[in-house]
A and B are shown apart, each in its own frame.
Chain A
């Protein structure tokens, strides 16, 4: 299949290895990945903060980038539950807020072909064992947007359980938000900190070496807290585990969500 990668702005800048891992994984599975460099951002930071008017040109840019290629690609993939959720649930709301019914229609067409990574693998590519190797213990944090808005359900766990050498440990209070919430993490920093402190403590309690999720934003939040407190577990994106093989195993770098070499 021909799959268009929307890295998300956060991944492009702050966690480039997650996008690299997505490319490596999909190519290993025999698919062709395309990356349109006109892509910028889905606009989630704007929409969730209430800046629909400012989000509108971002959404338009997104649609302008991906709509022309809809006939030539089979799917658009985003390694982020919240960004995929924004495309699916909010792009049309933004267009409506601006009274732009043409944009609303085009956004709907793009959104219909847009998938979060675990959805793409399980639902579109029909694969759960991707041939990955990851000889470490992990605990899975179902991020709120994947769990409650996209409803990815057990897909990420199915993919993880099929990984060779992995041990999946239980995360206490796993369904509680990590406290990221976009601008919430800065506007309500004290509350957000209380939430991520509890989340990081639960990750430590799980006894796993890694906390895995499908959202870089949440992983940056949890990983940043773990690192600040000097706790041992590291955060890792689902794509990074699925890209890891015996031949080319994942080795974490000092950078949060980074991979050495």
Chain B
């Protein structure tokens, strides 16, 4: 399974396993095109994201010290990334002291092996799961299925997605792309005991899910449940799981064995620090003052809940994210999904276009860093460009991750990699921007070009440029959708005239600031 690399003694940070669900089959522009062409999807997304965006805004407005909480949250997360190795060791000893068992997983495969072995040793043929990004990232359901263990998703949206043989499209609301009619159909097709008379009222659909899962909860075969965690407190070893439905409480409380798969970045230093994150997360996430249920447990509690607790600490590419000082704050994400709901790109394309467990603006900086951008045809190389850099994500981020800045940084990395790879710096954009860079750093050549833009385009009729045949290399993406003003006389031509008039009027002259011979070759 592992590759032994002889001769290189130094241990380097590693990207995520290729088996992780962190990379789609196609680049973003192409995948987005399909999503944009689906009017039902567009409407489902628009309605859902605008509802939650409004709710978030009013929940945040209520909090007078919101910006101060954000500052504290951001600093705490920096404290965590700056001290990650020490805090992880502290977490391990706290959890162990509280009766838990800590496992370390370098990558998706190792995490899968650990969980599979734990489940098989306990004779589990079925395991219940609470929605967790980390387990989705490592494709745990498929790994367990391969070992003959059936995974039942207990979160309503995850259940919908699982029953429809679909993939989640939103961090918080995985089935955001499905409307009630579609969900009714999915349930009817996959819940054998469900009465045909069920309507598409959300309350009836939720009731159907309750009944479907209740038996599983009360009678867990093998009695193993798998969860993630929102926060892991290094100081005390406390795991914090934030949820709404109660399926989390079921899975964290009723089984004999609980396995939590947690990314190494989920740490908070002290129990007290929860006072910041428990305020930031719910309002940013669901737009509620507080989510219905938050469970905190530390190791094993005698006579209350699971008899065994296993914590699997997962790297899977996180060390690679940490390696880039300009990009590492992507690890600060607390998975609230506020950036998705305000992103004008996500709102229109939905999550599937990003091809990763982590969609939206945060996904656009997290996924390519976790997997690396290994070439121009790597779908994840397109993700840093899947943004108009409007900055709405940064405004709402509860831990102040500067997503636009990291997007640009990753673009730079992508371009730098191409430039440094022989024979790879010849794309249309590379050539165009190289040329433009030359022109725009040569005042004299630039002056001539600007003055001739008008005359050159005068061969085209009309006042604006309409739809063009695909002959010009860069313009079609523009002119397919919008008109373009046709360059006429440049400003600088007018300025020459203006100068002349002004000097003849008041008899003064400006020193000639015409391009001199300073230009570089």
Determine if A34 is an interface residue (Cβ-Cβ < 8 Å): yes
B429 within 8 A of A: yes
Known: A12-B450, A38-B513, A40-B440. A191 touches B485 (CB 8 A): no
B389 within 8 A of A: yes
Q: Please tell me if A221 contacts chain B, counting CB pairs below 8 Å.
A: yes
A191 lies within 8 A of B348 (CB): yes
Nearest-neighbor residue (CB-CB) of B414 within chain A? A50
A53 to B488, CA, bound (A): 31
The answer on a CB contact under 8 Å between A189 and B480 is yes
Assess whether A60 is in contact with B388, with CB atoms less than 8 Å apart: no
Which of the 9-residue segments A110-118, A242-250, A252-260 touches chain B?
A252-260
Q: Tell whether, in the assembled complex, residue B483 and residue A228 are in contact, meaning their CB atoms are under 8 Å apart.
A: yes
Residue from A45, A50, A254 with most neighbouring chain B CB atoms (10 Å): A50
The answer to whether B345 touches A191 (Cβ under 8 A) is: yes
Tally the A-B contacts, defined by beta carbons under 8 Å: 242
Q: B460 to chain A: closest CB distance in Å? A: 12
Q: Interface digits, B280-305 against A, CB 8 Å rule (1 contact, 0 not)?
A: 00000000000000000000000000
Shortest C-beta distance, B237 to chain A (Å), equals 40
A26 within 8 A of B: no
Q: Is A177 an interface residue (CB 8 A)?
A: yes
**Cβ contacts under 8 Å, B389 to chain A:** 48, 144, 181-182, 184
Known contacts A34-B510, A54-B437, A258-B488; A148/B395 CB under 8 A = yes
Given A37-B514, A46-B436, A188-B386, decide whether A256 and B477 contact each other with a Cβ distance below 8 A. no
Contacts of B478 in A (CB 8 A): 185-186, 189, 224
Chain A residues with CB under 8 Å of B487's CB are 13-14
B358 at the interface (CB under 8 A from A): no
Question: Given A38-B513, A188-B386, A253-B463, is A57 in contact with B412 using a C-beta cutoff of 8 Å?
Answer: no
Q: Which residues of B contact A52 (CB under 8 A)?
A: 412, 415-416
Min CB distance, B194 to chain A, in Å? 37
The answer to whether the Cβ of B390 comes within 8 Å of any Cβ in the partner chain is yes
Interface string of B470-486 (1 = CB under 8 A from A): 00001111101111111
Q: Contact partner of A38 among B390, B419, B516, CB < 8 A?
A: B516
Partner of A39, one of B386, B416, B443, B464: B443
A45 to chain B, nearest CB (A): 7
A236 shortest CB reach to chain B, Å: 13
Bound-state Cα–Cα, A62 to B445, Å? 15
A107: Cβ under 8 A from any B Cβ: no
A189 close to B443 (CB less than 8 A): no
Q: Are A256 and B441 in contact (CB under 8 A)?
A: no
Q: Say yes or no: is B71 at the interface (Cβ < 8 Å to chain A).
A: no
Q: How far is the CB of B197 from chain A (nearest CB, A)?
A: 39
Q: Name A197's closest neighbour in chain B (CB-CB).
A: B481
Residue from the list B392, B442, B488 in contact with A255, Cβ < 8 A: B488
Flag A30-58 by CB within 8 Å of B: 1 or 0 each: 00001111111101011111111111011
Please determine whether B441 and A58 come into contact, CB atoms closer than 8 angstroms: yes
A61 to B518, CA, bound (A): 10
A14: B residues at CB distance < 8 A: 484-485, 487
- A155 in contact (CB, < 8 A): no
B443-A20 in contact (CB<8A): no
Chain A residues with CB under 8 A of B415: 49-53
Which of B25-33, B76-84, B161-169, B239-247 contacts its partner?
B25-33
**Is B10 in contact with chain A by the CB < 8 A criterion?**
no
A97 CB–B CB distance under 8 Å: yes
A179–B483 CB distance below 8 A: no
The answer to the question of A201 belonging to the interface, with a C-beta cut-off of 8 Å to chain B, is no
Check A54/B434 contact, CB under 8 A, given A40-B446, A177-B390. Answer: yes
Chain B nearest CB, measured from A105 CB (Å): 19
Judging by beta carbons under 8 Å apart, are B388 and A181 in contact? yes
How many positions in chain B have a CB within 8 Å of any CB in the partner chain?
Answer: 78
Whether a CB of chain A sits under 8 angstroms from the CB of B391 is yes
State in angstroms the CA–CA spacing of A11 and B520 once bound together.
Answer: 24
Q: Do A179 and B344 touch (CB < 8 A)?
A: yes
**In the complex, which of the residues B437, B482, B485 contacts A225, with contact meaning CB atoms closer than 8 Å?**
B482
Q: Given A45-B436, A49-B411, does the pair A188, B28 have CB atoms closer than 8 Å? A: yes
Residue of A nearest to B486 (CB): A255
Chain B residues with CB below 8 A from A145, complex form:
391
**Complex alpha-carbon distance, A258 and B487, angstroms:** 10
| Most interface-central of B413, B491, B520 (chain A CB within 10 A) | B491
Contacts A58-B441, A190-B33 given; does A47 touch B408 at CB 8 Å: yes
Q: How far is the CA of A54 from the CA of B419 in the complex (A)?
A: 10
A148-B394, A227-B482 known; A195 vs B29 contact (CB < 8 Å): no
Shortest C-beta distance, A71 to chain B (Å), equals 14
Docked-complex contact B29 and A190, CB < 8 angstroms: yes
Query: Could you tell me if A57 and B388 are in contact, using CB atoms closer than 8 angstroms?
Result: no
Q: How far is the CA of A154 from the CA of B462 in the complex (A)?
A: 37
Q: Is there an interface contact between A196 and B441, defined as CB atoms closer than 8 Å? A: no
A37 close to B485 (CB less than 8 A): no
**A23: interface (CB < 8 Å):** yes
Is B500 positioned at the interface, with any CB of A under 8 Å from its CB?
Answer: no
Q: Give Cα distance in the complex from A190 to B201, angstroms.
A: 34
Q: Does any Cβ of A come within 8 Å of B433's Cβ?
A: yes
Among A97, A144, A175, A191, max chain B CB count under 10 A is at: A191
Q: Is the CB of B482 within 8 A of A228?
A: yes
What is the CB-to-nearest-CB distance from B77 to chain A, in angstroms, rounded to a whole number? 21
A16 within 8 A of partner (CB): yes
Nearest CB to that of B485 among chain A residues? A256
Decide if A50 touches B29 in the complex (CB within 8 Å): no
* In contact, A37 and B518 (Cβ under 8 angstroms): no
Q: Mark B449-469, 1 if CB is under 8 A from A, else 0.
A: 010010000000011101000
In the bound complex, residues from chain B placing their C-beta under 8 Å from that of A189 are 29, 476-478, 480-481
What 0/1 pattern do residues 364 to 384 of B give for CB contact below 8 A with A?
000000000000000000001
Closest Cβ of chain A to B384, distance in Å, is 7
Are B491 and A19 neighbours in the complex by a CB distance under 8 Å? yes
Question: How near does chain A come to B404, taking the closest CB pair, in angstroms?
Answer: 8
| Interface residue? A220 (CB, 8 A) | yes
Report which of A11, A16, A41, A61 forms a contact with B489, defined as CB distance below 8 A.
A16
- Shortest 6 CB-CB contacts between residues of A and residues of B: A50-B411, A181-B388, A224-B482, A186-B477, A57-B441, A189-B477
Please, could you name 7 A-B residue pairs with CB atoms under 8 Å apart, sorted by A? A20-B491, A54-B437, A179-B388, A189-B480, A224-B478, A225-B481, A258-B485
Interface contacts beyond A50-B410, A190-B33, A194-B348: sample of 19 additional A-B pairs, CB < 8 Å, sorted by A: A9-B440, A13-B487, A19-B491, A37-B513, A41-B446, A43-B437, A50-B415, A51-B415, A57-B438, A57-B520, A58-B441, A65-B443, A90-B408, A181-B387, A184-B388, A186-B474, A187-B29, A191-B345, A192-B477
Give residues in B with beta carbon < 8 Å to A: 28-29, 32-33, 36, 42, 344-345, 348-349, 384-392, 394-395, 408, 410-416, 419, 429, 433-434, 436-443, 446-447, 450, 453, 462-464, 466, 474-478, 480-495, 498, 510, 513-516, 518, 520
